[in-house]
Amino acid sequence: MSLQWHNPSCITNAILDIRLPVAYDVKKVLCQLDELGCRKIEIRSYECLNPIIFSDLLNATTESVFNSIGIVTRFAPDVSEQAWQQLCDHHPRITSIILHDSPDSKEITSNMLLTPIKFVGMQISGAHCCGVIHPDYFTSLMEPVSEAHHYNSCLNRKIGIDLEGNIKNCPSMTQSFGHVSNITLAEIVHQLDFQRVWHIAKDEVDICRDCEFRYVCTDCRAYLENPKMILASHSNVVTTLILENGKSGVPIL
What residues contact residue 116 under an 8 Å CB cut-off, 6+ apart?
Answer: 96, 97, 107, 108, 109
Amino acid (one-letter) located at 173: M
Is 205 a binder of ligand SF4 (CB under 6 A)? no
**Rounded-to-integer distance, Cα 115 and Cα 68, Å:** 11
155/189 with CB nearer ligand SF4: 155
With respect to ligand SF4, which residue has the nearer C-beta, 57 or 155? Answer: 155
By CB under 6 A, which span of 71-79, 105-113, 207-215, 218-226 interacts with ligand SF4? Answer: 218-226
**Closer residue to ligand SF4, CB minimum distance, 41 or 88:** 41
Q: Compare residues 5 and 198 and give the one whose CB is closer to ligand SF4.
A: 198
The span from the CA of 168 to the CA of 123, in Å, is: 24
Q: DSSP string covering 75-113, please?
A: --TTS-HHHHHHHHHH-TTEEEEEEES-SS-EEEE-SSS
Q: In angstroms, rounded to a whole number, what is the distance separating the alpha carbons of residues 30 and 185?
A: 10
Among 154, 180, 211, 216, binds ligand SF4 (CB under 6 A): 154
Q: How far is the CB of 172 from ligand SF4 (least distance, A)?
A: 4
Contact status, residue 130 vs residue 170, Cβ threshold 8 Å: yes
Please give the Cα distance from 166 to 30 (Å, whole number).
14
Residue type, position 192, single letter: L
Should residue 172 be labelled a site residue for ligand SF4 when binding is judged by CB under 6 A? yes
Q: Is residue 170 part of the contact set for ligand SF4 (CB under 6 A)?
A: yes
Confirm or reject binding of residue 155 to ligand SF4 (CB under 6 A).
Answer: yes
- Smallest gap from residue 155 Cβ to ligand SF4 (A): 5
Identify which range of 31-39, 181-189, 199-207, 220-228 contacts ligand SF4 by CB under 6 A. Answer: 220-228
Return the residues of window 117-136 that contact ligand SF4 according to CB under 6 A. 130-131
**Min dist. Cβ of residue 154 to ligand SF4 (A):** 3
CB of 167 to ligand SF4, least distance (A): 14
Amino acid at 231: L
Nearer to ligand SF4, 117 or 222 (CB): 222
Give the interface segment with ligand SF4, choosing from 54-62, 79-87, 187-195, 216-224 (CB under 6 A).
Answer: 216-224
8/65 Cα distance (integer angstroms): 13
8 Å CB contact between 172 and 24: no
The residues that touch ligand SF4, with contacts defined as CB under 6 A, are 130-131, 154-155, 170, 172, 220-222
